[in-house]
Amino acid sequence: MKQAAEALLREMVSIYSPVGQEREITQYLVRAMQERGLQAHLDEAGNVIGELGNGSRSVVLLGHIDTVPGFIPVRQEAGRLYGRGAVDAKGPFATFVSAAAQYGTPRDAKLIIIGAVEEEGDSAGARYIVDRCRPDFAIIGEPSGWNHITLGYKGSMTLCYTLERETSHSAGAAQTAAETAVAFWTRLQGYAESFNQGKTRLFDRLMPTLASITSRGDGFTEGVEMVIQLRWPAELDVPAFESWLRDEAAPATATITSREVPYRAEKRTLLTGAFLAAIRAAGGEPGFTLKTGTSDMNVVGPAWGCPIVAYGPGDSSLDHTPNEHIEWAEYHRAIEVLGLVIRRL
């Protein structure tokens, strides 16, 4: 069983599947799930769906099988598997499939494993299934560490700042377009610092990141564009904040191009109880975490309204990094824990 579980993850990581290019890995996973006793198919969005059991209660295991761009040569070294997606989030998804194959479905329940596409983009896969499914329990496949479960994610927002105007003389008093943009970025940092006063947890803080800035000019006009990523907590007054952004950006335009609301699950449910008991049974000391990023939990959690957590092996600080890798020992521990959860449900 261990060899089969390792072979599954190794093959998944070997298939390069950046966001928007998931077809090869979905086709592989349909075959891999069928070989492990699941009924598997692709839906119209390109998600891979595997099902086990036909009981009245449904348990959805929702992971994503796309990655950020950048292939990492796959290698095994010192009990670790290196490769893009080993942690985020092919490791957690392989945990889902392996646990289902090894431990089977809960009594009187139906297990539905979903490998969603484009999570690293606009979560198109999760948005497709959110209204087509109403599970009794849901587990999101994201790295939490084998002995922790994640209860919540912050909100996210992408701001596009655009300014174009006539070129002024460099010896004049007027700011250049680039200087005006930088001044706006500095004011935004000040807004965040003021909002964050007294907030010690990153989960409670407003966190702006300058993703890119590009300036241009042709001798007659000059322009600048900035893309700013914002991670925001539930306590933020979003309408007031967006009004501040528009006012402070003028005469530039500030456009919100994407938005995900924060989500935090309940701490005491049958699902969290099953995880706590399973982690202890596997020899661990369980804990809860809150993440400063976002996941498909932000999409499906509010709509489904059922007990939900995020779980999976791996160190999330390795997400999107050139050193991404997973410990084989942790991967197998997570399969054991998830198998126990399935049984306890």
Q: What is the CATH number of the domain that holds 217?
A: 3.30.70.360
Q: Say if residue 227 is in the same domain as residue 93.
A: no
Domain shared by 146 and 284, yes or no: yes
- 211 vs 203: CA distance, rounded Å: 20
pLDDT tens-digit readout, 64-74? 999 999 999 99
Closest CA to 223 of 148, 160, 147: 160
**What pLDDT does 92 receive?**
98
Burial 21-54 (b: 16+ CB within 10 A, else e): ebeebbebbbebbeebebebebbeebbbbbbbbe
pLDDT of residue 172: 53
The residue annotated as part of the active site, out of 22, 118, 119, 222, is: 119
Q: What is the DSSP string of 300-335?
A: HHHHH-S-EEEE-SS-GGGTTSTT-EEEHHHHHHHH
Assigned token pair, 160: 């596009």
Tell me, yes or no, whether 110 and 134 share the same domain: yes
How far is it, in rounded angstroms, from Cα 58 to Cα 111? 6
For residues 125 and 17, membership in a common domain is answered with: yes
Record the pTM. Answer: 0.92
Together in a domain, 232 and 165: yes
- Residue written as token pair 């348990």: 59
Res 250: pLDDT: 94
Same-domain check for residues 125 and 271: yes
**Hey, what are 188's tokens?**
């935004």
- Looking at 260, 295, 322, the residue that finishes a domain is 260
**Per-residue pLDDT, 80:** 98
Cβ atoms of residues 49 and 35 within 8 Å = no
3-class secondary-structure state, position 298? helix
Is there a single domain that holds both residue 159 and residue 143?
no
Helices (H) and strands (E) in the chain, counts: 9, 16
| Residue 66 is a catalytic residue | yes
Q: What is the CATH number of the domain that holds 322?
A: 3.40.630.10
Q: What dihedral do alpha carbons 310, 45, 23, 12 form, nearest 10°? A: 10
Phi, psi of 335 (to 5 degrees): -60, -45
The pLDDT score that the predictor gives to residue 106 is: 67
Could you tell me if 139 and 65 lie in one domain? yes
User: How many domains does the chain contain in total?
Assistant: 2
Active site residue 43: no
The rounded distance, in Å, linking the Cα atoms of 257 and 159 is 6
pLDDT, position 111: 95
β-strand pairing of 57-64 with 109-116? parallel
The encoded tokens of residue 122 equal 């606009």
Q: What is the pLDDT of residue 242?
A: 96
Q: Which of 224, 240, 260 is the last residue of a domain?
A: 260
As a whole number of angstroms, the distance between CA 39 and CA 34 comes to: 6
User: Domain residues for 336?
Assistant: 2-154+262-344
Domain stops at, among 227, 260, 293: 260
The continuous run of DSSP H or E covering 185 comes out as: helix 177-195
Low-confidence ranges of the chain (pLDDT < 50): none
Please enumerate in sequence order all residues whose Cβ is within 8 A of that of 17, keeping only pairs 6 or more positions apart, or say none: 24, 25, 65, 66, 67, 85
Specify whether 191 is located in the same domain as 220.
yes
Select which of 66, 88, 118, 336 is catalytic: 66
> How far apart are the C-alpha atoms of 207 and 193, rounded to whole Å?
9
Q: Which two structure tokens, joined as six digits, stand for 181? A: 């943009």
Closest CA to 286 of 339, 334, 344, 343: 334
